[in-house]
A and B are shown apart, each in its own frame.
Chain A
């Protein structure tokens, strides 16, 4: 085989490989990574005070 033919074949192989490399590289997924949303839990800054005032029970007096 002529040297020239060999060179041409090699070059053609190079082209094919390059095209393949381009296709692979273009298909790399470089989308932004999904990061979990970070949410802070809010505090409860109010406290409650409760009671029920009842009337004192009546006391029976006998005369």
Chain B
């Protein structure tokens, strides 16, 4: 009788432990007798990325006798010596959220180029093959606009959908003959904010 009681006791303990452990396995692997749950939370990811991050015109000068010359990233130049640039900065929304896009620069024309009446401008358009990148909204910098160190809103609804997620930021500069002769550099910053 005692042996029988011990046997029943061990069997009961085994049953309890087995049920507990199998419960752990179900939690970790989704092994299911009849139902299984897999839960996850996709986090919001707001990221924009310059896929073309450098515009470099190389070196050159204002032609003799001219008060100024200009360069842009649309292949136009009447300066001498500079590299002809036909593509602007390309910015892509590589996150998973539509965003509001602001642009700013480390320098405006006076600090970037200098001299008398310089110009430093941008013009934002949907990159080739990305029609609809500004969603249902309109681009706010759709013509040559003076660049500022303050934020300028470029688009209220920059989408993340493939083939609708890239802008081209064209740049134009006017170099007066009075500008100092040295290396010039500026940084354009794109700031993305998730839509509410």
Report which A residues bind B (CB closer than 8 A). 7-8, 11-12, 14-15, 18-19, 21-22, 25-26, 28, 30, 32-33, 40, 42-57, 59
Contacts and interface: CB of A to CB of B under 8 A. Distances in A.
A25 B188 contact: no
A56 B62 contact: yes
B63 A15 contact: no
A30 B25 contact: yes
Contacts of B188: 46-49
Contacts of A19: 10
Contacts of A51: 56-60, 71, 82, 173, 183-184
Given A30-B24, A51-B71, A44 B53 contact: yes
A37 to B, nearest CB: 14
Contacts of A40: 45, 47
B142 interface: no
24 contacts: A12-B3, A12-B7, A14-B11, A21-B18, A28-B25, A42-B47, A43-B48, A44-B50, A46-B53, A47-B52, A47-B89, A47-B91, A49-B185, A51-B60, A51-B173, A52-B58, A53-B182, A54-B60, A54-B81, A56-B61, A56-B62, A56-B80, A56-B177, A59-B64
Interface centre among A15, A25, A47, A54 (most CB of B within 10 A): A47
Interface string B173-187: 101010111111111
B21 interface: yes
Interface residues of B, number: 63
Contacts of B181: 53-55
Contacts of B61: 53-57
Interface in B87-141: 89, 91-92, 94-95, 112-113
A22 B17 contact: yes
Contact of B10 (A22, A32, A50, A57): A22
A12 B49 CA distance: 72
Given A30-B21, A30-B25, A49 B186 contact: yes
B149 interface: no
A8 to B, nearest CB: 6
